[in-house]
Amino acid sequence: MSEEPAMKDGQNDRKGSGDDYDLIVIGAGQGGGPLAGAFARAGRRVGLVERVHVGGTCVNEGCSPTKTVIASARIAHLARRAAEYGVTPAGAMDAHARSPRGWRVDMQRVHERKQHIVDDFRSGSERALAAAGVELIRGQARFVSERSIEVVMTDEAADTRTLTADRVVINTGLRASIPKLQGLEAVPYLTSTSILELTELPEHLIVLGGGYVGLEFAQAFRRFGSRVTVVQRDGQLLSREDADVAQAVADILREEGIDVLLSAEAVRVERDGNSADGVRLVWRWREGREKEQAVDGSHLLVATGRSPNTDDLGLDSAGVSRDDRGYVKVNEKLETSTPGVYAIGDVKGGPAFTHISYDDFRILRTNLLEGGSATTTDRMVPYTVFIDPQLGAVGMTEREARASGRRIRVARLPMSSVARALEVDETRGFMKAVVDAETGQILGATVLGLEGGEIATLFQIAMMGRLSYTVLRDGIFSHPTLAEALNNLFTAMDRQGGDAG
């Protein structure tokens, strides 16, 4: 993988016209769109190829629509809890009823609200690209040589264009993985994309997979009023998390009436004999118990991971290497095995988060337009799982810190000890921070609690500034806020004394 000089501002490498560009970006995701716009505003000729819709997964079937649906589900949840706060609607309410009396969940309206957000965000992205001078090319792209792209147009009948450029950026993202599960091809099932199009409430939603995506949908649809069963192959939910975090998440979901099956291996799916439209998932315990069991539902959500959109890109023709899972291989500056060809966002593997895709854009902008030398080395990867309460995290987990051989200390505080959480009656979960016992610096933090993602960001800022935990322990924060809990978190750790190991 080679180094190449940055373009000078105002320089235009492509003197010709037609299908000859300074930059071609394949995929209008959360990294590709901003990169195309930055190059165009710098006076470059840019072609942005998109086969489906501008905005990528985040805008169209990921962050924006899912969080909009989750917000609607939270309102349904709060409606059920209204009496706890002294607000009583007409009629009594049953916490486990399909719909709270006096309230009605209108899935058609939930869908309309979601779609309005998607359409608004997508059209805003399209307007920004047009204003920057980016040529948006609708079609399916495929490499025919190192930096030559054939595009089968989707907005012009049977038309094909061949585009060339000095630099090409791959930003084609991921799609839902469909497991090789017996019978799956013969039954209707949902993915993280198609479940967002439901306008009627499932009677019983079976969620295959206990990762971030599966759990967010599981809780949302339970709060809308569906019966929900989560079937997870691993011995815990959220396999990356520490065991105490995963257990607390499982407890919260079960408390809300979700059936959670752990160490449950799916064997096959078939039609539910008791329902013309239903589905039966046959499974067995992984740990020594071979007897098959079954769960019958009205809908099946397959949430077992995601796969890169690289199988139809003709990457071999460009000499672009992939790993054994199909992800594009890149170096720390995001260049592939072919000089001048880069990959950004989810398609290159690693953490599949919008904020990482956007940071990839910043790296290429810095290096290719501004003459910098930015890399992905040692960058922080914060994330939030939008269950309720949120799970926000940054840096090392306790398990990872111990595996690194460091001497560490672990600070932990239940949300039931946080004044703000008590005042709003949102006391589920806990805060947890891992501290280097030698330097006092924070190695990582996990917050399962009210606004957990926001609180985790406070830890991240301290880590970015390489502050000792004592700065947070002794800081003055407004009362009563969630932030002031950082005082108590680290004060409690010091009172307990000693090292965690």
Closest CA to 174 of 314, 345, 376, 360: 345
Task: Encode 231-257: b = buried (16+ Cβ within 10 Å), e = exposed.
Answer: bbbbebbbeebbeebbebbbebbeebe
CA 67 to chain CA centroid, Å, is: 11
> Could you tell me the CA-to-CA distances from 90 to 18, 44, 120, 254 in Å, in that order?
67, 62, 36, 28
The structure tokens listed for 257 are 């009436």
Measured distance CA(476)–CA(483) in Å, rounded: 9
Residues 125, 54 contacting (CB under 8 angstroms): yes
Bridge partners, 297 (sequence order) = 279
Q: Any residues with CB less than 8 A from the CB of 41 and at least 6 apart, and which?
A: 132, 133
Closest CA to 234 of 217, 215, 221, 257: 215
- Angle of helix 107-132 relative to helix 63-80, nearest 10 degrees, comes to 150
User: 468 Cβ partners below 8 Å, 6+ apart?
Assistant: 439, 440, 441
Catalytic residue among 96, 116, 299, 479: 479
Q: Please, are residues 395 and 455 in contact by the beta-carbon 8 Å criterion?
A: no
Known catalytic membership, residue 53: no
Active-site residue numbers? Answer: 479
